[in-house]
Amino acid sequence: MAKEFVAEPDLQFTRDVIAAGGSDVKKCYQCATCSVACPISPDNSPYPRKEMIWAQWGLKDRLVNDPDIWLCHHCNDCSTQCPRGANPGDLMKAVRKMVIEENSWPSFLGGLVGQPSLMVLTLGIPVAVVLFLVYINGGFRAPQPLNYGEFINYLYIQGVYTFALVFAVVSMVLSLKKYWANLEANCPINVGAVRKPFVPSLIEAFKEILPHDKFKECEANNIRYASHLMVFWGMIGLFVTTAIVAFNIDILHIAPPSRGGPGTVPIKILGNVSAIAFVLGLGIMIVRRITQPDQAGNSSYFDWLFLFVIFGTGATGLLTELVRWAGSAPGAYFLYAVHLMFVLALLLYLPFSKFAHIGYRTLAIAWGKSAGRDVTLPVVPNYAPVPAQEGGAEETPQA
């Protein structure tokens, strides 16, 4: 007999899940179509079926310690095929949001970023910081020739943004540490005691994440995989660009190449190509969310906030460059300031916004690798004819 556990439903948790976007979770009647439809769900305790009933029964302890929610890449096949309209994809997403909130350090920031009613405060902080920087640099001026360093001193920028980055990284690491400990101690899935060591598991996870191998298996929604791949690599490109430029300025004391117009230096090509991929990928995501909600899933505040910030970052960055080429110094300075606001928001809220999936998902995939939790079902195309077997098709296949 299976081990018995005492079910103590947490009504508030169920209400929270419903509020966080899993509004149809109670409709599920456990037919398991979702787990069958999912191309990447494991054979053992497949998701998202079990997550649905855990959420219905308010089993918070199970859901917040469930690595499976991160193995889902939200292709939304489960939701489109759900006969009851219970939208399992949305539930998985809502739980991911709650896990980010649950594990954030400091925890009040998790609550802040996820709360639609606190949006003004959330967005107001980076705006205020940048306005303050502009103010202490003498207000809004447009020094000619164009030099962002004269608009706001690089030292300030470096001070503030290094702090934000360090804060984000420390916070993220602390959050993930907590999460990893929870997974180790309280994972509700029976995966056995055998574990691979952490570092090789993490390397395996990277091998899967960098080319988006698993994401690609969500065949129903390949455009989703493609756009995410563009954003993902665009962002890496931009990060590398920024790092090299910072290294050049601070260590090698080489002036940034911006003042030379549309240069052909490799660093600029890398930056521009990455930025275009980044913005284009995000653009596709936004358009799909608006025009094809049935395919992309229902979008919550949490989704839109993150998309707004990250798209804003990319778009204002590109626009700043375009306006500079167009020769409008005030315009370029203005957009530069807005861009700084977006970048700060992105960095500062990395561990608390949807951006945190970069850490949680990586960690959960690594945990999955270490626990052997990536056994997927063979992908059978829809309605494929069953190959005729010898001895007649009427025979029931042997289990």
Partner 1 sequence: MDHKIGVYIDTGYGIGEALDIEALCTVATGEFSVPVCRAESYWNEPDKLAIIRNDIAGEGLTAVLIAGPSPRVHQDAFKFDGTIVERANLREHVVWCQPPNHEDTQMLAEDYIRMWIVKTSKYEDRPPFMEETSKDILVIGGGMTGMTAALEAAAAGYQVYLVEKEPQLGGWANKYAKVFTGKPPYTELTDSPVQEKIAAVNKSDKIKVFAGHRVFRISGAPGMFDVIVRADGPWIEKLDTAQNEWLAAKKAREAAGGAAGEKKEAEGEPTEPEVPDDPSEFAHEVVRVGSVVLAAGWRPEEPQNAEHLGYGTLPDVITNVQLEELAAKGKITRPSDGKEVSSIAFIECMGPEVEHPLLYGSNVSSLVALKQAQYLRKSNPDGKAFVFYNNMRTPGQYEVFYQAMQDDPGVFLSKGIPTGVASAASGLAVDVKDTLLGEQLRVNVDLVVLSTGMVPVTKDAAVLNLKYRQGPFLPENPYGFNDSHFICFPYETQRTGIYTAGCVRQPMDFQSCETDATGAALKAIQCMELVAQGKAVHPRAGDESFPEIFVTRCTQCKRCTEECPFGAYDEQPNGTPMPNPTRCRRCAICMGSCPERIISFRDHSVDMIGSMVKAMSVPDEYAEKPRVVVFICENDAYPVLDMAGMHRLQYSAFVRFIPLRCLGNINMVWIADALSKGIDGIMLIGCKYGDDYQCHFVKGSELAEYRMGKISETLQRLVLESDRINVQQLAIDEYYKLPGIINDFIELLSGFDPNPYKGF
Q: Of the candidates 22, 44, 51, 53, which one interacts with partner 1 according to CB under 8 A?
A: 53
CB of 8 to partner 1, least distance (A): 7
**Cα–Cα distances in Å, from 44 out to 35, 36, 157, 243, 375?**
11, 12, 50, 43, 8
Q: Pick from 34, 40, 58, 351: which binds partner 1 (CB under 8 A)? A: 58
Please select the residue that binds partner 1; options are 8, 184, 213, 250, rule is CB under 8 A.
8
Of the pair 10, 204, the CB lying nearest partner 1 is at: 10
**Upper half-sphere CA count for residue 97 (Cβ side, 13 Å):** 26
Dmax (CA) for the chain in angstroms is: 87
Amino acid identity of 202?
L
Question: With respect to partner 1, which residue has the nearer C-beta, 3 or 253?
Answer: 3
Whole-number minimum distance, CB 22 to partner 1, in Å? 11
Q: Does residue 27 bind partner 1 (CB under 8 A)?
A: yes
Choices 26-34, 154-162, 231-239, 331-339; region in contact with partner 1 by CB under 8 A: 26-34
Within 13 Å, how many C-alpha atoms sit on residue 322's CB side? 8
Strand-pairing partners, residue 42, are 376
User: Does the protein bind partner 1 through residue 57 (CB under 8 A)?
Assistant: yes
Both tokens assigned to 263: 């240069």
| Helix runs in 327-383, H state only | 329-348, 357-371
Within residues 32-51, the interface with partner 1 by CB under 8 A covers 45, 50
Residue 5 interacts with partner 1 (CB under 8 A)?
Answer: yes
State the minimum distance, in angstroms, from the CB of residue 15 to partner 1.
6
Distance CA 3, CA 233 (A): 45
d(CA 74, CA 54): 19
Question: According to the binding rule CB under 8 A, does residue 352 interact with partner 1?
Answer: no
Query: Any contact of residue 18 with partner 1 (CB under 8 A)?
Result: yes
Q: Which is nearer to partner 1, 1 or 393 (CB)?
A: 1
User: Whole-number minimum distance, CB 187 to partner 1, in Å?
Assistant: 15
253 touches partner 1 by CB under 8 A: no
Contact residues for 188 (Cβ-Cβ < 8 A; gap 6+): 54, 59, 61, 62, 65, 66
Phi, psi of 23 (to 5 degrees): -70, -20
Using the rule CB under 8 A, is 11 a contact of partner 1?
yes
What is the SS3 assignment for 376? strand
- By the criterion CB under 8 A, which residues form the site for partner 1? 1-9, 11, 14-15, 18, 26-27, 29-30, 45, 50, 53-54, 56-58
